[in-house]
Amino acid sequence: MNTEHKFVWLDFVRGLSAIAVCAGHLRAATIVDYAELGRGNLLQQAFYVATGLGHQSVMVFFVLSGFFVGGSVLRSGENFNGGRYALARLSRLWVVLLPALLLTAVVGQVLASMAPEVLSGGYKPIWNSGPVDATEYSSSWRTLLGNLLFLQTILTPVFGINGPLWSLANEFWYYVLFPLCSIAIGWSVRREAATIVPRVLTGALAIAILYWLPKDIRDAYSIWLMGLVVYFSRGRLSPTVRRIVMVVGLVAFAASLGYSKSDTLQERLGWPSDPIIGLCFCVLCVALANLPMPKNMNSMFVKLSHGMSTFSYSLYLSHFPLVALIGALGYGTTRLRPDVFGLLQFTGWLALLLAVGGVFWWLFERKTDEVRRFVAGLPKRYLRAS
């Protein structure tokens, strides 16, 4: 089993977070807002809570990414290789991103023909995602290239209708920034190359990139870096301390989610909710990362957690164009109430989106290592050919 997947609970959280993002977008497109429902029953209230944490789940992704990706850089230490790292990160991103952009383009053509009001921003107030107006929607070659180079929200809009692509720009630039910072500090550089000039230049480049990035991306970098706290905590907690941290983390994380949903509290205190969610999840994540591995690594829970984590990226990139298609062509502005009939439809659509995410993984993401090995072997093939 891959070293990453020894962290079974983090696998579970990562998979659950991707499903939460998908479910939140689907609910906005198919089920009426809670304000329109009036006073719902306990089941309905639980449904709205469970499907209302999409943005918060992205903050969870950032912390987990800092732990896994930042941790891999730190583990490399003096053996860090920029070329291998770049190949690993880019193959991981592009193998799924390319077909997701193609799916987005196809769905965009269908919507342009059958529901053009979606592309002109008519559904933004209802779905809380997608283009604000016709000037924001873009499926041009320039926007496509910008998204392939992870410049969406920086120099170009997200491509087409696929609003969740915004976070991919954050991730990519954090992948770039952290190794630069690590080299500048001296964590990831060979001793013979640890002279002051290269480290100063590398640090200056990191500062320049931070200055160039938009404020939203810059601010969220601190959330990504919280994953390093989790990394450094591994194996350092006694069982008693771990239990205390677990309780504190669960209470704090639940409180942070509540805070993120309270406009009144945020206006009164003036604290942005995203870093608070990141910090509180970081505490919980410290406890989860220090849990011992399950005795039975073939248990249903371990297999479920591993599977959910494995296809989470494919689900994240593929779901929203299909949600837009379902919402625009199936429901329009007349959405369902969360009664038995409405919840059954919602569950059916969610199952379909999860299945598509699984197909995306099977067709593309599972071949990431194969693509990586092929690209890594190109120089040797070229030398043999010449």
Tens of pLDDT along 301-329?
899 999 999 999 999 999 999 999 999 99
Give residue for tokens 């809570």.
Answer: 49
Q: How many CB atoms lie within 10 A of CB 47?
A: 20
Convert the pLDDT of each residue in 67-79 to its tens digit.
999 999 999 888 8
The span from the CA of 173 to the CA of 34, in Å, is 36
Using pLDDT thresholds of 50, 70 and 90, give the confidence band for residue 253.
Answer: very high
pLDDT band at 194 (very low <50, low <70, confident <90, very high): low
Burial string for 67-88 (b: 16+ CB within 10 Å, else e) reads bbbbbbbbebeeebeeeebebb
Average pLDDT score, the chain? 91
Instruction: Please give the Cα distance from 320 to 322 (Å, whole number).
Output: 5
Query: Token digits for 199?
Result: 């480290």
**What is the model's pLDDT at position 57?**
97
Tokens found for residue 82? 């920029």
Tens digit of each residue's pLDDT (9 = 90 or more) over 160-173: 999 999 999 999 99
CB 312 within 8 A of CB 298: no
Mean pLDDT of 351-368: 97
Above 90 in pLDDT, residue 376?
no
pLDDT of residue 27: 95
Query: Mean pLDDT, to the nearest integer, of 340-368?
Result: 97
User: How many domains are there within the chain?
Assistant: 1
Confidence band for 129, pLDDT divided at 50, 70 and 90 = low
Is the pLDDT assigned to residue 342 strictly greater than 90? yes
Q: How confident is the model at residue 3 (pLDDT cuts 50, 70, 90)?
A: very low
- Chain-centroid distance, C-alpha 171: 8
pLDDT > 80? residue 6:
no
pTM exceeding the 0.85 threshold for the entire prediction: yes
What is the structure's pLDDT at 199?
A: 85
Residue with tokens 């970098």: 221
Categorize the per-residue pLDDT at 192 as very low, low, confident or very high, splitting at 50, 70 and 90. very low
1 — pLDDT class (breaks 50, 70, 90):
very low
Domain range spanning residue 147? 3-385
Half-sphere exposure for 307 (CA within 13 Å, toward CB): 13
> Is the per-residue pLDDT at 384 higher than 70?
no
Closest of 142, 124, 141 to residue 133, by C-alpha: 124
Q: Do 144 and 101 contact (CB within 8 A), yes or no?
A: yes
pLDDT band at 197 (very low <50, low <70, confident <90, very high): confident
Range among 38-42, 194-198, 374-378 rated most confident = 374-378
Q: What separation, in Å, do the N-terminal and C-terminal C-alpha atoms of the chain show? A: 39
Residue % of the chain over a pLDDT of 90: 75
